[in-house]
C-alpha cells in the first residue's frame, strides 16, 4: 500500500495536473450525523524523538489475525533539511508500543520517502530513497527486519542506476517474499514504473517494467496477497490538446511475476490522480483515487477488480463540492469492506479555505458508506490492516504539544 508524502523540506514534489470540467455530476446520499468509526483508544503519539520535523508517514500491518503494525517516517536531522533520516516504531495488535524508536537509515544526506511491508510472522521490510550526495541522483534502498525489530542482513540496493529512481512502495506475501515498485526517471518528460521482486532471504528475483512507454507513468501503488500474487496501479499522463489527461492503470501479476491483466480503471475525460490499492485474501484488488471534477472540486472514488480481472462499478467515497485529495486505503482480507482516509479543504466558490481536515470513511464491500470520522488537522495518512480487520492509521500533525514541528500520530479501528 502506498504511503503519502508531505514535502515540507528537501526532497522532490511533483506537480499534479488540474483542469475544469463540466457535465452531469452524480449525487450521493449524505451520511447522517457523521457517525464515529470504531476507533479503539485515543490518538497515539508515535515519534519519541521530537526535534525538528517528522513527516512522510507509512504504515503496514501483518496479515496475521493477531498482527501488529509498523510505522515508518522521515526524520529531519538538521535545521537546513539537507540531512534527513528514516525512523520506525513497532506496535502490537492492541496498539501498544513494542520496543523503542528505531533508526533505519542515518546517512549524512537526504533519506526520504519510506514505505514498509510485513509478513505473516511479523517480519518486515522498509524501503526508502537515498539522495546520493544530495545530487538529485536518487536510489531506492531496502532493509529487512525480524519481528523483534533487529536487522535481518544488510542494506539492499533495489534500484541504483545513474538515473533517478524514487517514490517507492512495497508489498510482502505471508512468507516474506517482497516486491518494490518505484518511478524510474528515464528523461525529463518520460517517467516509467518498475517493480523489483525479492525472495524472503533478500535475494533478487528480477525486475519487471510495469509501464515503460514514452509518456509520464508514475505514482505507483503495490499490494500483494498472502500467496504472492500482486497488483500495481499507477498514474499515466496523456497529452490532450493543450492540457494533460491523467488516468489510472492497474496491472495484475501471478506470484511468479507473469502479467495477468493490464486495464484502465479510471480513464474519463477528467483527471484521475494518486491511486492507492489494497488486496484481500482472495486476490481481489480495491483501488481508490482522486478525481478532478473542477479546479476547486476534487472527489474520492473507488473501484474493485476481482481476482479474475473483472472490473466492478465505480464507488463514490466522497463526491461533495469541496476539495478532497490524497486518498489511502486498507481492506478487510475476508469481508471485502474497506476504509479510506483522505484530506479535505473547503471550497468557498472562489478559493480553497481551511481548516484542513483528515477524513476517515469506512465502506461496505458494495461501496455504501458505513461511517465517517473527522480526525481534524492531520494530513498525509497511511493505513495498514491485519487479518482480523484491525486497522492502524498513521498521519502527520503540526504544532502539537511535545513536538517541535511536525509529528507522527496514529489511531486504531476495527472493520468487520
pLDDT at 240: 82
C-alpha dist (Å) from residue 256 to 123, 198, 199, 253, 259:
21, 11, 11, 8, 9
Q: Are strands 138-145 and 156-159 parallel, antiparallel or unpaired?
A: antiparallel
- CA 38, 337, 195, 197: dihedral to nearest 10 degrees? 80
Residue that the C-alpha cell 488516468 belongs to: 247
CB 8 within 8 A of CB 55: yes
Phi and psi angles of residue 269, each rounded to the nearest 5 degrees, phi first: -75, -15
Helices of type H across 28-140: none
Residue 20: pLDDT band with limits 50, 70, 90: very low
How far is the first Cα of the chain from the last one, in angstroms, to the nearest whole number? 20
With a CB cutoff of 8 Å and minimum separation 6, the contacts of 4 are 57, 274, 276, 326, 328, 380, 381, 382
User: What is the per-residue pLDDT for 40?
Assistant: 55
At 416, the pLDDT band (50, 70, 90 cuts) reads confident
Do residues 386 and 393 touch, judged by C-beta distance below 8 A?
no
pLDDT value of position 327: 98
Burial of 257 (0-12, 13-18, 19+ CB in 10 A): middle
Residue 185: closest CA among 108, 244, 131: 131
Give the per-residue pLDDT at 284. 98
Instruction: Say which residues have a Cβ less than 8 Å from residue 81's Cβ, sequence separation at least 6.
Output: 9, 10, 110
Given a contact cutoff of 8 angstroms between Cβ atoms, the answer to whether 75 and 24 are in contact is: no
Under DSSP, the state recorded for 80 is: T
Sign of the torsion formed by the C-alpha atoms of 55, 211, 293 and 275:
negative
Which residue carries 498525509 as its cell?
380
Query: 362 with 370: CB under 8 angstroms?
Result: yes
Which pLDDT tens digit goes with each residue over 286-340? Answer: 999 999 999 999 999 999 999 999 999 999 999 999 999 999 999 999 999 999 9
Question: Which three cell numbers, joined as nine digits, stand for 275?
Answer: 491511486
Q: What is the pLDDT of residues 372-390, one digit of tens each?
A: 999 999 999 999 999 999 9
Is residue 256 helix, strand or coil? Answer: coil
**4, pLDDT greater than 80:** no
Q: pLDDT tens digit string along 116-167?
A: 999 999 999 999 999 999 999 999 999 999 999 999 999 999 999 999 999 9
What are the pLDDT digits (tens) for 166-204?
999 999 999 999 999 999 999 999 999 999 999 999 999
Contact 108, 84 (CB under 8 A): no
Looking at the domain covering 41-414, what would its CATH class be?
mainly beta
pLDDT band of residue 27 (cuts 50, 70, 90) is very low
pLDDT score at 243: 85
Q: What does the alpha-carbon distance between residue 232 and residue 210 come to, in Å, rounded to a whole number? A: 8
Domain range summary for the chain, segments of one domain joined by +:
41-414
Q: Are 102 and 146 in contact (CB under 8 A)?
A: no
Largest CA distance in the chain: 55
* 44 pLDDT more than 60: yes
Hey, how many other C-beta atoms are within 10 angstroms of the C-beta on 21? 16
3-state secondary structure of 315: strand
Tens-digit pLDDT profile for residues 100-117: 999 999 999 999 999 999
- Per-residue pLDDT at 96 exceeds 60: yes
The predicted-structure confidence for 210-260, as pLDDT tens digits, reads as follows 999 999 999 999 999 999 999 999 999 998 887 899 999 999 999 999 999
Nearest to 178 by CA among 124, 234, 103: 124
The answer to whether 117 and 124 have CB atoms below 8 angstroms apart is yes
Minimal CA–CA distance to 189: which of 220, 163, 216, 161?
216
For the four alpha carbons of 313, 317, 322 and 324, in that order, the dihedral sign comes to negative
**Sheet of 271-279, strand order:** 271-279, 285-294, 297-305, 315-318
Amino acid at each position: 500500500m502506498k504511503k503519502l508524502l508531505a514535502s515540507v523540506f528537501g526532497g522532490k514534489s511533483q506537480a499534479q495536473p488540474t483542469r475544469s470540467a463540466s457535465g452531469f455530476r452524480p449525487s450521493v446520499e449524505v451520511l447522517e450525523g457523521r457517525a464515529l468509526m470504531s476507533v479503539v483508544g485515543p490518538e497515539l503519539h508515535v515519534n519519541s524523538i521530537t526535534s525538528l520535523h517528522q513527516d512522510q508517514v507509512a504504515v503496514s500491518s501483518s496479515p496475521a489475525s493477531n498482527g501488529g503494525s509498523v510505522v515508518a517516517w522521515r526524520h529531519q536531522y538538521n535545521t537546513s533539511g539537507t540531512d534527513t533520516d528514516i525512523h520506525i516504531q513497532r506496535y502490537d495488535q492492541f496498539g501498544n508500543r513494542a520496543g523503542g524508536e528505531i533508526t533505519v537509515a542515518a546517512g549524512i544526506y537526504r533519506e526520504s520517502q519510506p514505505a514498509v511491508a510485513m509478513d505473516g510472522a511479523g517480519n518486515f521490510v522498509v524501503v526508502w530513497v537515498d539522495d546520493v550526495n544530495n545530487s538529485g541522483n536518487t536510489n531506492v534502498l531496502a532493509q529487512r527486519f525480524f519481528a523483534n525489530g533487529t536487522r535481518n542482513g544488510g542494506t539492499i540496493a533495489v534500484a541504483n542506476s545513474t538515473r533517478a529512481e524514487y517514490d517507492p512502495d512495497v508489498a510482502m506475501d505471508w512468507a516474506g517474499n517482497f516486491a518494490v515498485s518505484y518511478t524510474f526517471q528515464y528523461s525529463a518528460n518520460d517517467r516509467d514504473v518498475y517493480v523489483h521482486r525479492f525472495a524472503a532471504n533478500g535475494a533478487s528475483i528480477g525486475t519487471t517494467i510495469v509501464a515503460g512507454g514514452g509518456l509520464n507513468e508514475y505514482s505507483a501503488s503495490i499490494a500483494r496477497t498472502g500467496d504472492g500474487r500482486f497488483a500495481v496501479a499507477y498514474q499515466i499522463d496523456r497529452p490532450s490538446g493543450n492540457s494533460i489527461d491523467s488516468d489510472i492503470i492497474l496491472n495484475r501479476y501471478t506470484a511468479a511475476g507473469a502479467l495477468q491483466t493490464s486495464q484502465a480503471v479510471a480513464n474519463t475525460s477528467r483527471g484521475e490522480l494518486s491511486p492507492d490499492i489494497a488486496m484481500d485474501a482472495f486476490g481481489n484488488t480495491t483501488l481508490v483515487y482522486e478525481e478532478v471534477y473542477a479546479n476547486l472540486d476534487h472527489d474520492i472514488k473507488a473501484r474493485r477488480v476481482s481476482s479474475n480481472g473483472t472490473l466492478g462499478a465505480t464507488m463514490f467515497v466522497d463526491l461533495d463540492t469541496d476539495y478532497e485529495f490524497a486518498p489511502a486505503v486498507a481492506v478487510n482480507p475476508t469481508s471485502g469492506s474497506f476504509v479510506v482516509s483522505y484530506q479535505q479543504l473547503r471550497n468557498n466558490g472562489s478559493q480553497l479555505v481551511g481548516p484542513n481536515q483528515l477524513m476517515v470513511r469506512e465502506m461496505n464491500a458494495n461501496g455504501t458508506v458505513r461511517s465517517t470520522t473527522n480526525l481534524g488537522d492531520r494530513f498525509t495518512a497511511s493505513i495498514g490492516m491485519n487479518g482480523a480487520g484491525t486497522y492502524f492509521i498513521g498521519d502527520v500533525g503540526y504544532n502539537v504539544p511535545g513536538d517541535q514541528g511536525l509529528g507522527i500520530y496514529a489511531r486504531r479501528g476495527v472493520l468487520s
